[in-house]
Structure 1
Amino acid sequence: MIKFITPREAAHLVADHATVAMSGHAGFGTADAILQALQQQYALTGKPAQLTLVKVAGAGDGGRRGGDRLAAPGCIRTLITSHVGLEPKLAEAIRAERCLAYMIPAGTIFRLYQACARGENGFLTEVGLGTTADPRYEGSCGNARTRKEGKPLVSVETVQGKEYLYYRTFPIQVGIIRGSIADETGNISLEHEDMIGEQLQIAMAVKQSGGIVLVQVADLVRRGKLDPRQVTIPRHLVDYVTVVRQRDVWTEIVPDPDGGRPHEPLTVRKICARRAALELQPQELVNLGIGMPESIGSVLAEEGMESRIISASDSGVIGGVQLTGPEMGSALYPEAMIPMADMLSLCNGGGLDVCALGLAETDYLGNVNVSRFNGCVVGPGGFIDLTRKAKKIIFLGTFTAVGLQAHCERGTLCITQEGRYHKFKKQVEEITFSGVAAKQRGQKVLFVTERAVFTLTPAGWLLTEVAPGVDIRRHIIPFMDFSPRVAAHVKTMDARIFGETKMGLR
């Protein structure tokens, strides 16, 4: 029978050495009152200690809430996640080797939950071959301590002459998830959540493991008051419910007939976004990654062409104005929402037409790293899932970083100060995207910067376009740690990209 308890009582149910799965994506879907109670209990008693924490994504607000509540030394022994970008305390725990850490693709964690729910010992996947997830590289190990002390989560197996990654499942004793509304029998609705996360998958995996499911909700209603079509987690998958009458809904999900994106000034960010926008065809399903790719949406809105594409986040939110930071994965005025697990399955299956992602660093093979810098791990998040089978991949970013100063003058690009950091390296620190695998799959891969456009061909890098005012020998080659091939007829980037007025996209 379902029991209604306080967050403090919920915290007492988590034992030392338990494997705990928690829901949450950025600032949403996290049972933060229960996590706060765990944080307070650990500070007072040192319990629960030596936990294994499993979570799909970075869940927090940049330093206070979410997964960072469990970052005190000794609380977590092992962390299994895809990302800690919004959890600086967990990121520091990994860097300082206070815990073991496995940074595996977001979609793979969903697969782990699903395989566990089916009672399977493991599963095969092609996702992650040739990247940091591959045991022939890092095997998703987030630090040296994990490589030394940790048990491998993944191995390479060959079936009928084809390679796969094989992940072993493990029992999960506790699930800590967030819902919107519970009825008095324990049925859980997610109707006020800004995305449909991993709550159901966690509950099913935990119950199959013989564990307990703790759910935090904002409202309680009488039996029969919930529309059964709105019940995501039925009561037989729930053990304990805690009602905390507050919500983390920071965005308003309402139709917006007038759009809502502000116009951006003409900066290198907008230049890259404009050039990338020229690659998009009507009604393509497009993922716009965080950072510079978000400006593609602003460019389309400025041109009155926002409906030209169908934008999709890896969280399952489709359409609208995608948000960032703690609101990452959500959107203002979305058109639709599908479960995150389904969206990542769609991406892994090749359902994305275009994936536009940020360019942190790349190398002579076309590999891209966005998951580890100077030994500090962030994790791949959904990057590996998104790029695996997208028909076209656009990486966009400034050509150099840290100190770059450039502006447009009379339709030409003027570089007044070069960035100190070179992004085009001989070898990336970690492979989040495999250029070799992309070429084998026949994917179209473009690298768009404010001064040049490159294509990744079967023969390697090819410089195809330069900005007006840019000299290849002066502004491009000296700032690359490898030599690209140069097209026989290098084009000049569209002059409209560098003008103050609208481009006139049609």
Structure 2
Amino acid sequence: MPDKIVPARDAAALVHSGDTVTTSGFVGAGVPDGLLKALGDRFAEEGHPRDLTLLFAAGQGDGKGRGLDRLAAPGLVKRIIGGHWGLIPKLGARALAGEIEGWNFPQGVISHLYRDIAAGKPGTLSHVGLETFVDPRHGGGRISDAAKEDLVELVTVGGVERLFFKAMPIHVALLRGSTADQRGNITMEREALILDNLAQAMAARNSGGVVIVQVDEVVAAGTLPAREVVIPGALVDAVVLAPPELHPQTYATQYNRYYTGRYRAPLDGAAPLPLTDRKIIARRAAFELPVGGVVNLGIGMPEGVAAVAAEEGLLDHVTLTAEPGVIGGQPASGLDFGAAVNTDAIIAQNQQFDFYDGGGLDLACLGMAEVDGTGNVNVSRFGPKLAGSGGFINISQNARHLVFTGTFTAGGLSVRAGDGQLEIAVEGRARKFGATVEQITFSGTRAARLGQPVLYVTERCVFRLEPQGLRLVEIAPGVDLQRDILDQMGFTPLLGEVAIMDPRIFTDAPMGLKDDLLTIPLERRITWDAAREILFINLSRLAVRTPADIEAIRQRVDAVAGPLGRRVDVVVNYDQFHIAEPVERAWGEMVDDLEARLYGTVSRYSSSAFLRRRLGRTLERRRRATIHDSEHAAEEALRHGADNAAGHGEVV
């Protein structure tokens, strides 16, 4: 077989005018900077190739000229379909000005589009993007009027609305790995991420295009272990050996062995974050962490939640993830974002979005820049600044629970915290909570209609999304409701009983959050909601091991429901519930007793399919039981007067 190792200049010559080019990378991880530089240099010297179309999923750049901004010279690129634009300001400015035809699609959609192009499908069918700026009814993802072609269509499949993103042939794939052999087989042992390299290579190959891969080491043919090869040589046309300065592991780190997933960093106890507005917000968001659950933390403000979780000893009790394929461990921040240390696994980006889009996330914690009274959020576009949606739409639309985080105002905000109090020293110049948002990256109306639980956490207050809009539910101690909150908003939120945020959030000492989340007393688990007339039984993360555990729950239910003197409707949260096998029968008998004496309609839920099946067998003693997959589905079933909402639960 021929030796596929070629100089960068020769590889750049394989790109022709009018080609559609796809590139790998996430921020600075996996970006083929050597190939991008060679392509930009060739255009500067020869004026060719021209009028390229770029297709990329994640943002690839540092905001200072590296990454895709190496291709920003006028005439080189004609069209761009991209997921995140904030790190390529030169190309973003040209798209906003209409000098380039530009579209912004969800990162996960483009990631899946690679697979569909490889498989010869006409495009990608998805619910992701409905009722956002990606929806053709709200612009179809166009960045300016220069983008005239309809690349996404609203369709109805089985009576349900979906978006159809059109496929296109890929002529060139510019990718990156660690080691290549002379036949073009590529491994990625020193890379922080796997990304979509294989899917992109297949898409280009099956489109009749070429695949060019940048690496930092070349070895003899036949010497790479087959199980470590990520891109088979049969898919690769050319390999370029890049110098170290064009092949950093990330844009912040030349090489960190812990980012590879092959080594684990010692737990040396990193210094806690200072008690700034960033940490205050991260602390409040950390109260929502689902012990035993899977979590996504977005870039920016949400990154602090990982640091708080580490400080509070919670990292072993949640699985943190990042959209490019990181599972477990602690995600990195800044220009290292996307990488992580002490990971459990690093998978392909498109597979991560399979999991996200299907509702696998128990919680997502994301940033927010603009919020309106209906709960819409904008993080993608602000006048002359184009950030793009990245994976935000995939994640925010599909997480079981959602927490938006950000300061209440922006531009010069200064706060002081200590001794359980918050003081607004200098108010920000710009409002974030206004009458409208410039662009809908997250649809609050859709989320409220579908019953998605959503919180909006700031340093001074917390809002909850309700069908009627945003409700103020918490306020920081020391903050004035009228002066510091209502007067700084462009709309009036729903008001009622407002709780005081936990003073520990504003005290410069560990909060003891681990004990709070792992140990919840029965008095807080079994409560009567008089307004809705529902008995809520929260068994989430509870372990029942002995008959005494069962009897304690029975007594608490009797104490709360017995004095009401009538049968009551009940919602039971079985999320991450554990029951020892020897007491399963006794549990079923206890439930039988409560249903016979106290319960009216009962609705149960758990996000675990395994647990739904197991509990279903345990509770089948008196009747066939349905264990729903979410609190919303359980409450919907209760409102319909029977525990039989088809399609929402596991019927056994």
Question: Is the contact between residue 135 and residue 154 of structure 2 (CA under 8 Å) also seen in structure 1?
Answer: yes
Residue of structure 1 in register with 2:222 after alignment: 224
- In the other structure, the counterpart of 2:61 is 60
Shift of 1:122: 2.0
In structure 2, do the counterparts of structure 1 residues 413 and 279 end up closer, same or farther at CA, with 3 Å as the change threshold? same
Return the letter of the residue paired with 2:299: I
Q: Is the 8 A contact 1:60 1:326 kept in 2?
A: no
Q: Which residue of 2 aligns with 1:74?
A: 75
Name the counterpart of 2:126: 125
1:277-297 Cα shifts (integer Å, max 9, x gaps): 111121211111111111111
**Alignment root-mean-square deviation, CA:** 1.5
Deviations 1:407-464 (CA, angstroms, capped at 9, x unpaired): 1243211112211111111111011111111112221100111111111012221111
State whether residues 406 and 416 of structure 1, in contact with CA within 8 Å, keep that contact through their aligned partners in structure 2. yes
Alpha-carbon offset, residue 255 of structure 1: 0.8
Q: Would the aligned equivalents of 2:373 and 2:491 in 1 still touch at CA under 8 Å?
A: yes
Q: CA deviation at 1:388?
A: 1.6
Match of 1:164 in 2: 162
Which residue does 1:86 correspond to in 2?
87
SS in 1 for 2:79: strand
Residue pair 2:418, 2:508 contacting (<8 A) in 1 also: no
Amino acid in structure 1 at the alignment position of 2:204: V
2:298 aligned with 1:300, yes or no?
no
| CA deviation after TM superposition for structure 1 residue 88, in Å | 1.9
Show the counterpart of 2:212: 214
User: Is the deviation greater in 495-504 or in 303-312?
Assistant: 303-312
Sequence identity percentage: 45
Which residue of the other structure, out of 257, 263, 267, is the alignment partner of 1:252?
A: 257
The 8 Å contact of residues 252 and 333 in structure 1, kept in 2 or not, is answered as no
SS of equivalent to 2:322: coil
- CA distance in 2 between counterparts of 1:168 and 1:232 reads 27
* 2:477 paired with 1:468: yes
Equivalent residues of 1:468, 1:493 under 8 A apart: yes
1:260 deviation in Å?
5.4
Q: Assess if the C-alpha contact under 8 Å between 2:419 and 2:508 holds in 1.
A: no
| Equivalent position of 1:279 in the other structure | 288
Matched, 1:445 2:454: yes
Aligned: 1:492 with 2:492: no
- What's the counterpart of residue 551 of structure 2? none
Are residues 1:372 and 2:377 paired? no
TM-fit CA distance, 1:98: 1.8
Cα offsets for 1:185-204 (capped at 9, x unmatched): 22111121101111111111
User: 1:324 & 1:280 partners in 2: Cα distance?
Assistant: 19
CA contact (8 A) 1:122 1:167 kept: yes
Q: CA contact under 8 A between 1:260 and 1:321: conserved in structure 2?
A: no
Letter in 2 for 1:189: T
Structure 2 vs 1, CA of residues 409 and 111 (structure 1 numbering), >3 Å: closer, same or farther?
closer
Matched to 1:16, the amino acid is S
Are residues 260 and 205 of structure 1, via their aligned partners in 2, closer, same or farther at CA, if it must alter by over 3 Å? farther
Match of 1:424, SS state, is coil
Q: Give the alignment's TM-score, normalised by structure 2.
A: 0.75
Shift, 1:45, TM fit? 1.1
Is contact 1:357-1:395 (8 Å) kept? yes
Corresponding residue number in structure 2 for 1:356: 365
CA contact (8 A) 2:93 2:386 kept: no
Q: Which is higher, the Rg of structure 1 or of structure 2?
A: 2
Of the structure 1 ranges 265-274 and 408-417, higher mean CA displacement relative to structure 2 is found in 408-417
CA–CA distance in 2 between the matches of 1:137 and 1:92? 21
Aligned-residue offset at 1:336: 2.1
User: Aligned partners of 1:261 and 1:157: how far apart in 2?
Assistant: 50
* Contact map agreement 2:93 2:384 (CA 8 A) in 1: no
* TM-score, with length taken from structure 1: 0.96
The counterpart of 2:190, out of the listed 189, 192, 205, is: 192
Gap regions ≥5 residues in structure 1: none
Partner of 1:34: 35
Matched letter for residue 46 of structure 2: T
Is this contact kept in 2: 1:79–1:101, CA < 8 A?
yes
Q: Secondary structure at the residue paired with 2:138?
A: coil
Give 1:90 deviation, angstroms: 1.4
Deviations along 1:203-245, whole A, 9 cap, x unmatched? Answer: 1111111111111111112233211111111111111112225
8 Å contact from structure 1 (residues 116, 205) kept in 2: yes
The alpha carbon displacement at 1:134 in A equals 0.6
8 Å contact 2:300–2:334 — kept in the other structure? Answer: no
Q: 1:70 to 1:262 in 2, by over 3 A?
A: same
Tell me the distance in 1 between the aligned counterparts of 2:337 and 2:303: 11
Maintained 8 Å contact 2:319/2:329: no
Partner of 2:334: 325
Rounded Cα–Cα distance in structure 2 between residues aligned with 1:191 and 1:405: 44
Partner Cα distance (1:361, 1:435) in 2: 12
* Residue in 1 that maps onto 2:320: 311
Secondary structure, in 3 states, of the residue corresponding to 2:423?
strand
The answer to whether structure 1 residue 105 and structure 2 residue 106 are counterparts is: yes
Distance 1:367 1:261, change over 3 A: farther
1:491 positional shift: 0.8
Segments of structure 2 that go 5 or more residues without pairing to the other structure are 516-652
Deviation (angstroms), 1:262: 3.0
Give 1:403 deviation, angstroms.
Answer: 1.6
DSSP 3-state at the match of 1:35? helix
Aligned to 1:502: 510
Letter of the 2:23 partner, please give it. M
Q: State the alpha-carbon separation in 2 of the partners of residues 381 and 260 from structure 1.
A: 32
| Cα deviation, residue 392, structure 1 | 0.7
Aligned equivalent of 1:412: 421
Task: Report if aligned partners of 1:58, 1:85 keep a CA contact under 8 Å in 2.
Answer: yes
Determine helix, strand or coil for the equivalent of 1:486: coil
**Cα separation, 1, equivalents of 2:176 and 2:426:** 48
Partners of 2:320 and 2:330 within 8 A in 1: no
SS in structure 2 at match of 1:4: coil
The alignment covers a number of residue pairs equal to 502
After the TM superposition, which segments of 4 or more aligned residues of structure 1 sit over 6 Å from their partners?
none
